[in-house]
Structure 1
Amino acid sequence: MNLPHPTGLHHLTAIATDAQSNIDFYAGLLGLRLVKNTVNFDDPSAYHLYYGDEHGTPGSIVTFFYWPGATRGQVGSGQVTAITLAAPAAALDFWRERLERHGVTVTPRHRFGEDVLAFSDPDGIPLEIVGVAADPRPGWTGAGISPAHAIHGLHTAELTVREAGPTEDLLTTVMGWSLVRRDAHRARFTAGAGGPGHFVDVIADPSAPRGTGGAGTVHHLAFRVPDDGAELAMQGRIADAGYHVSDVRDRDYFRSIYYRERGGILFEIATDTPGFAVDEAVTALGQTLQLPRQFRSARSRIEALLPSLRAARRYSP
């Protein structure tokens, strides 16, 4: 019997220190849509903001936890070591000029036949924009960036581990992904037919410092499955393979299970449903604070604790 597997990337979640600076950078400078303004499920004194395309489509989403006093983390092995986004190949000159004009240092790279711009966000999280020849996903243009230049969503999840074998075996067996190509210490895996939003790169680096969680690091990687049935099937398969997997957690906009792969990276399996429009209209996504069910009765107290936020800074094209 062919059981369902994750069909691509769902989202990445990272740790930042200042929500407003983060909004200005990701929604203002990079032009992503702020699709959900909420709080951490375990800490309602901290914002949890989601960025993506118009609808917050799985595969377009980058999210952040915000802890102003968080200790700086160390980017290294046992982590997702970059947030890698996709944009049209012809837009890379636009992005390089725009980023550099606003004080962001950009380093050009070339990987697997595609040009890449590498830079960092205000918390030092490594970021990349990969120029893609064909990506059918529409970008968000509400921030004033044209369709010809807009970022379309995630391109790749980059995993750095000291020993690649166990991670690669997990991807190709339990997760059902396929090896696309290998270049020295980097191997690319894909779900289905592949394409941006369906890639995972495993980097084997025995000399890499051990990553430590904290500000400026990626907290976890979420893979997507279509529905609850597929998630339960994955939960069973992960447990049968000897991993400790969580129970199903209701995150309001998707349901999730969590486990750590052998290299130490926290993986999440998240459902495509129900999506971000369950508590506000698509046209109004991200405009007002939405609270998880367990915190709604404490809205006034939570709002008093949270710093006020303003709309993203508007950058010139």
Structure 2
Amino acid sequence: MNHHGIHHVTAIAGNARRNVEFYTRTLGLRLVKKTVNFDDPGTYHFYYGDEVGSPGTILTFFPWDHVAPGRLGVGETQETAFRVPEGAIGYWTHRFIEKGVAYQPIVRRFGETVLSFKDPHGMRLALVGVPGIESEPGWTNGEVPAEVAIRGFHGVNLLLQEAAPTGAILTDVLGFTEIGREGSLVRFKAEGTQIGGIVDIHEAGGFLPARMGGGSVHHIAFRAADDAAEAAMVKKLVENHGIRTTEQKDRNYFRSVYFREPGHVLFEIATDIPGFAADEPVAHLGEALKLPSFLEPRRAQIEAVLPQIDLSDAA
């Protein structure tokens, strides 16, 4: 069975504790994994999502204190959007007022209600009111009522010079279909997928290129059911588009390859397997610092370098 859509989105944050507090308490997501950047183990890697860390619900961060802010520009993700029940937008608007969260006036986009806002480090986010999803399970830690809780990703909005070259990758390799246009936006949807099923491309020629920093999305990962599905996608990229990926990397909870798509956004293809319960039970996800086997011998050194965070903020 093909599994399409967004697997996860990875971004850059500032202070680690503030990141945990915002995403677990203000937005009500679950911290499903506390690990490190495998390539830079002096830095945390936090994963937030639903109760079990389902593909299509996972937003991850590399938090660095004193990180310079990023600059929005061509060749990056302009906005990352979550799904909420259509009737929950009013609740979230009031919550943002109470919590001092910077947000924009509500707009309509492709017939949907969109509430755009920013996290404490400038990441551009949105809540999209989706009808008929009230019965979907919503994770709650008591701060956000289950009936208005976030239900995974709606999608991402890419700011690119032109839509067609990237659209060709989305449609031929990643399981999306173009379904509509509205002004300078082109919408693609992953067939048979609700959570994380949307990619909007905002065509904006002449803008400055993006500068990566605090609040920037580092990469977007798209789903592959397993290694065989991932290998087939890699083969298509080479044969149909002349794009080569990295070698497969084992990220403990999924296996990944990476490539730059034609608009210069870093894309990842990640397997759905083995999932976030691979090294700790679902009931205790995110509680302990988890390290890959090759870093376990350095645990004491790594823990001494990582900033202290109070995980009661994620309760």
TM range (shorter): over 0.9
Which of 120, 123, 138 aligns to 1:122? It is: 120
TM-score normalised by the chain length of structure 2: 0.95
Show the counterpart of 2:111.
113
Give the CA deviation at 1:314: 7.8
Show the counterpart of 2:19.
22
CA separation of 1:314 and 1:45: change in aligned 2, threshold 3 A = closer
CA separation of 1:283 and 1:56: change in aligned 2, threshold 3 A = same
Q: Could you list the runs of 5+ residues in structure 2 that have no partner in the other structure?
A: none
Q: Which amino acid aligns with 1:7?
A: H
Q: Which amino acid aligns with 1:218?
A: V
Show the counterpart of 2:295.
295
Q: Could you list the runs of 5+ residues in structure 1 that have no partner in the other structure?
A: none
Q: Deviations over 1:61-116 (max 9, x none)?
A: 00001122333221221011112111111111110000111111222111111111
Show the counterpart of 1:44.
41
Q: Deviations over 1:26-81 (max 9, x none)?
A: 11100000000000010110000000000000000000011223332212210111
Give the CA deviation at 1:192: 1.1
Q: Which amino acid aligns with 1:166?
A: P
- In structure 1, distance between residues paired with 2:40 and 2:74: 27
Give the CA deviation at 1:191: 1.1
Give the CA deviation at 1:244: 2.2
1:204-283 equivalent positions in 2, closer than 5 A: 204-240=203-239, 241-283=241-283
Give the CA deviation at 1:6: 5.5
Show the counterpart of 1:85.
82
Give the CA deviation at 1:144: 3.1
- 2:171·2:177 contact (CA, 8 Å) conserved in 1? yes
DSSP-derived class of the 1:274 partner: coil
- 1:77·1:205 contact (CA, 8 Å) conserved in 2? yes
Q: Which amino acid aligns with 1:164?
A: A
- 2:5·2:198 contact (CA, 8 Å) conserved in 1? yes
Instruction: Tell me the matched-pair count.
Output: 312
Q: Which amino acid aligns with 2:130?
A: V
Q: Deviations over 1:196-239 (max 9, x none)?
A: 41111111001332111111100000001111110111111112
- Please give the root-mean-square deviation of Cα atoms over the aligned residues, in Å: 1.6
Show the counterpart of 2:187.
188
Is 1:65 matched with 2:62?
yes
Q: Which amino acid aligns with 1:310?
A: D
Show the counterpart of 1:7.
4
- In structure 2, distance between residues paired with 1:50 and 1:314: 12
TM-score normalised by the chain length of structure 1: 0.95
Is 1:311 matched with 2:308?
no
Q: Deviations over 1:127-167 (max 9, x none)?
A: 10011112364221124322211001110111110122211
Q: Percent identity?
A: 44
- 2:5·2:176 contact (CA, 8 Å) conserved in 1? no
Q: Which amino acid aligns with 1:285?
A: L
- In structure 1, distance between residues paired with 2:158 and 2:297: 39
DSSP-derived class of the 1:189 partner: strand
- In structure 1, distance between residues paired with 2:314 and 2:280: 24
